[in-house]
A and B are shown apart, each in its own frame.
Chain A
Amino acid sequence: MSLDDDRERVEAAQRDPACFDELYERNFHRVYAYVVRRVGDRHQAEDLTAEVFREALAGIGKFEWRGVPFIAWLLRIASRAIADHWQRSGRESANPAPNADRPAPEEIERSAMLFQLVDRLPEAQFRVIHMRFVEQKSIREIAGELGRSEGAVKQLQLRAIENLRAQMEGAHA
């Protein structure tokens, strides 16, 4: 996405918050990838990602265009939200922060691209990947729910991941 596109979409959302939808679609995977890499827990990552986008929507009017991609602003909000979160949970449990290092921008882009490619998998492959990696179900459970043999589910799993690797390599070629 070019900076001009970015700017156009931000200005549209500033005029009409209903246009924020498009900024969400374009940046959801990046923000989520960044947050989950830093907190390492799905539920906390969801809470924090929601917090980032709600804050961004509420503050879109105050966003000043300075030629920096919109995602940089979102990741700044995310970074602050994570710091606040650790401060709160640190007070409660005295646990150290799980992953204080910020992931490199290339890693975020790579994860975000992978997550977007999952959305574009053929339906059967997408279902298997979602059930296996998000819902963390066993091959047997998935086979039962989808009414397929365990062998067929394993094949769909491998096919999906081969598909993803091919597309990731294609994108980086």
Chain B
Amino acid sequence: MPDDALMPDNANVDQFDQIVDAVLAGAPPASDPELAALTQIAASLRDLPDENFQKRLRSDLQRRATMTTSTVAPAREGFRTVTPFIVVPNASELIEFLKQTFDAEETNRHPHGTDGFVASLKIGDSDLLIMGGQFLREQERFGAFHVFVPDCDAAYDRAIKAGGTSLGEPADRPYGERSGFVKDASGNYWYIATLLEGPPHTEGLGTVTPYAHPPKARPFIDFMKKAFNAQELAVYEQGGRVMHAAVRIGNTVMEMGESPDFQPSSFYLRVEDCDAAYQSALAAGAMSLWPPTDQAWGDRTAGLQDPFGYQWIPSTPVKKDR
């Protein structure tokens, strides 16, 4: 309604203003029924928010949101946005060197590739990731960085548009991240990641999960898709090699990692207490491959080989404080 419409009657205008005065003083009078509805509105307007406050708070929230977007993508616990990632075959020697020289602390190590591992180290207030293993001997050396971003797919697309070469399209990874891999024009590798809420493929994981080591995982996965209607859940590729993958057939998940040499298939064993299962297996005559260790993807695992040559990996979700 425009405000230059017909003027209300002057007596009403004055009478109503007296009511507003009384309302603002905190004592709404018993007005005549005709004005009662207006008096009620006036009483409610005492609580009207200040438009300047609403605008100030909006700007404050926008500023906070920008800071959140640009600097603090959720990262894995203990990680900053960018973490240098060193890739060398003789990583154990390098870690020893860093421990002796800089008092580095190894906080986590999990097996990787056929004979390798990825370790997290802390030096002062900084983190460092180191991948090692003899399987890296023939590969080119590169500088690599792990980066947490709010939206991995969008950052991956920007990286490709900016001249990067894809090393692996964004996909949900078994270690609780969605990530894509890009090589920049100078040859550096960027592992662009967004943290996933919880493990990406927990449904269908039984207590025992078969773990295969095919020489090539892609044709093996394709075969299972065509033959058994398998569904691809996660494929973790690095340098053209599938390090870890999971597929679902019916109600069962099967996991695998490529191995150029023959390796016996192993069994991933989900138990309540990884340490107790490890001790029981040792007592029953198994040989330790690695002791119970908290892994980056959220499981505590140990590796064992039974007296018949089969490998077992008891695992328990890492206990979280929250």
Interface residues of A (CB under 8 A from B): 15-18, 20-21, 24-25, 28-29, 32-33, 36-37, 42, 45-46, 49-50, 53-54, 57-58, 61, 110-111, 114-115, 118-119, 122, 124-125, 129-130, 132-134, 136, 139, 151, 154-166, 168-169
Contacts and interface: CB of A to CB of B under 8 A. Distances in A.
B251 interface: no
Contact of A154 (B14, B44, B46, B69): B14
A117 B69 CA distance: 33
A117 B66 CA distance: 30
Contacts of B13: 151, 154-155, 157-158
A126 to B, nearest CB: 9
A166 B64 CA distance: 39
Given A119-B51, A162-B38, 14 more contacts: A17-B68, A20-B65, A36-B49, A42-B50, A57-B64, A114-B41, A124-B3, A132-B24, A133-B42, A156-B3, A157-B17, A157-B20, A158-B8, A169-B37
B49 A18 contact: no
B202 interface: no
A122 B2 contact: yes
Interface string B36-65: 011001101111111101100110111011
Contacts of A132: 20, 24
Given A36-B49, A49-B57, A159 B8 contact: yes
Contacts of B61: 20-21, 24, 53-54, 57
Contact of A129 (B38, B47, B48): B48
A32 B49 contact: yes
Contacts of A157: 13, 16-17, 20
A136 B25 CA distance: 10
Contacts of A162: 8, 38
B69 A161 contact: no
28 contacts: A17-B64, A17-B65, A17-B66, A17-B68, A18-B65, A18-B66, A21-B61, A21-B62, A25-B58, A36-B47, A36-B49, A46-B50, A46-B53, A53-B61, A54-B60, A54-B61, A114-B41, A122-B1, A122-B3, A124-B3, A129-B48, A130-B50, A130-B51, A133-B42, A134-B51, A154-B17, A155-B13, A164-B41
Contacts of B60: 50, 54
Contact of B69 (A18, A25, A46): A18
Contacts of B66: 17-18
B253 to A, nearest CB: 24
Chain A binding surface, main DSSP class: helix
A45 B37 CA distance: 26
Interface residues of B, number: 41
B16 A158 contact: yes
Contacts of A118: 45, 48
Contacts of B45: 114, 118, 129, 133, 161
Contacts of A129: 45, 48
B47 A130 contact: no
A158 B34 CA distance: 13
A171 to B, nearest CB: 13
A115 B48 contact: yes
B17 A139 contact: yes
Nearest to B50: A134
Given A122-B2, A158-B13, A21 B8 contact: no
Contacts of A161: 16, 38, 41-42, 45
B184 interface: no
Given A16-B69, A18-B69, A124-B3, A54 B64 contact: yes
Contact of A158 (B12, B44, B51): B12
B64 A125 contact: no
A28 B54 contact: yes
Q: Which 4 A-B pairs have the closest CB atoms?
A: A17-B65, A17-B68, A133-B45, A36-B47
A58 B69 CA distance: 11
Contacts of B162: none
Nearest to B322: A62
